[in-house]
Amino acid sequence: MSLLTIEKSGHVTTLTLNRPESMNPLGAAGDGDAFVEACDAINSDMDVRCVILTGAGRAFSAGGDIKAMKERTGNFGGTAPAIADGYRNNIHRILRALYGLRVPLIAAVNGPAIGLGCDLACLADMRIASGRAKFGVTFLKLGIIPGDGGTWILPRIIGEARASELFYTGDVIDPATALDWGLVSRVVEPEALMDEANALAAKVAKMPPHALRQAKNLLRQGRHTSYDTALEMAANAQALMHVTDDHMEGVDALLEKRAPVFKGE
């Protein structure tokens, strides 16, 4: 079964992990291709201003396919070098594609997000959790380590001490703890999750598309650059925004005390 279903409504695209019968595992052949194709299409479509990622059924994603690990098949079969290449050429392509999205990404975490599934959610810019969500990076309990860059992702969100606690104990935390630790920004009733995610996406989608993409890039680059470099990048990006029609629309709307209508021009 194909990993993703894709639905576009207005300026918002929703990506749904669609293997509900097995809690949306990741790592089957073609999974990397599916994400690359979807994310490339989104990046090329200036009409898309926000993306929602969620899971079908009762889980967001249980992570790597445990059955395939047991049988040593697919991504988890063969020699050590072959397994490493499987990560590079498939699982890492999922993560790189999602990380490379140029528009804001909301993870609507509907249920358990475990291992690779948790790290996938952590690549989002914003995370909303259902009351049925759970979060864990339980790799060590399986005798493996985070092979998906999770040790780079999670500390940037909740800090090194709390990330270390989760990695080293394999504990799974509930939505209230995830909210307290800053892993998610809000927790809602399960039946309200997608309404909440769509409402947030709709707010984002009202913003000017070129400025949205520039803002995300500056936030991303700000993790690694010096303040002087960040200022130089901001000056160059800001100059481009000042000559857009959307900038004039924003100014006019403010002066006229009305809501702006941005067209990406």
Do 127 and 59 lie in one domain? The reply is yes
Whether 223 contacts 157, CB under 8 Å: no
Domain span at 233: 209-255
Other CB atoms within 10 A of residue 245 CB:
12
User: Is 143 within a domain?
Assistant: yes
198-206: long-range contacts, CB 8 A cutoff, minimum separation 24:
198/12, 198/52, 200/106, 200/126, 200/128, 201/12, 201/50, 201/51, 201/52, 201/106, 202/10, 202/12, 204/49, 204/50, 204/104, 204/106, 205/10, 205/11, 205/12, 205/49, 205/50, 206/259, 206/260, 206/262
Where a domain ends, among 205, 226, 245?
205
Q: What is the pLDDT of residues 73-95, one digit of tens each?
A: 888 888 999 989 989 999 999 99
Q: What is the pLDDT of residues 1-59, one digit of tens each?
A: 679 999 999 999 999 999 999 999 998 999 999 999 999 999 999 999 999 999 999 99
User: Is 262 within a domain?
Assistant: no
How many domains does the structure of the chain reveal?
2
User: Is 263 within a domain?
Assistant: no
Do 100 and 120 lie in one domain? The reply is yes
User: Is 261 within a domain?
Assistant: no
Do 229 and 197 lie in one domain? The reply is no
Could you tell me which residues come within 8 angstroms of residue 185 by beta carbon, excluding any fewer than 6 positions away? Answer: 126, 127, 128, 179
- Average pLDDT value for residue range 96-118: 97
pTM of the model: 0.94
User: Is 264 within a domain?
Assistant: no
Whether 50 contacts 11, CB under 8 Å: yes
